[in-house]
Amino acid sequence: MLSDAVRAAYSEYLRDWDEQGAPWEYWMERTEAARTSFAGLVGAHNDEIAVTASVSAGVNAIASGLPVRAGVPRS
């Protein structure tokens, strides 16, 4: 079951799609607001927070940038 806060946020998100459609600027403002909120929650700066499609996409982006040493199996 969703909490009241999550249900309200989801309702707001759906209402925004109905009323705003998909203008890039609007959704980038919303994304920046979410980054700011999360940064405050974890004690980080906004530029230390990345928004990705999923945790898997974020971890893949980080892992793909790490050096791979010969003879070390990837798990």
CA distance linking residue 17 with residue 30, whole number of Å = 12
Q: Please indicate whether residue 2 or residue 75 has the higher confidence score (pLDDT).
A: 2
- With cut-offs at 50, 70 and 90, classify the pLDDT of residue 32: very high
Whether the CB-CB separation of 31 and 51 falls below 8 Å is answered with: yes
Q: Please indicate whether residue 44 or residue 70 has the higher confidence score (pLDDT).
A: 44
Asked whether residue 60 carries a pLDDT value surpassing 90, the answer given is yes
CA distance linking residue 74 with residue 23, whole number of Å = 41
Condensed to tens digits (0 to 9), the pLDDT of residues 35-46 reads: 999 999 999 999
- Distances, alpha carbon 5 to alpha carbons 2, 9, 12, 62, in Å: 8, 6, 11, 31
User: How large is the average pLDDT for residues 14-32?
Assistant: 88
Query: Among candidates 28, 25, 48, which has minimal Cα distance to 38?
Result: 48
Asked whether residue 64 carries a pLDDT value surpassing 70, the answer given is yes
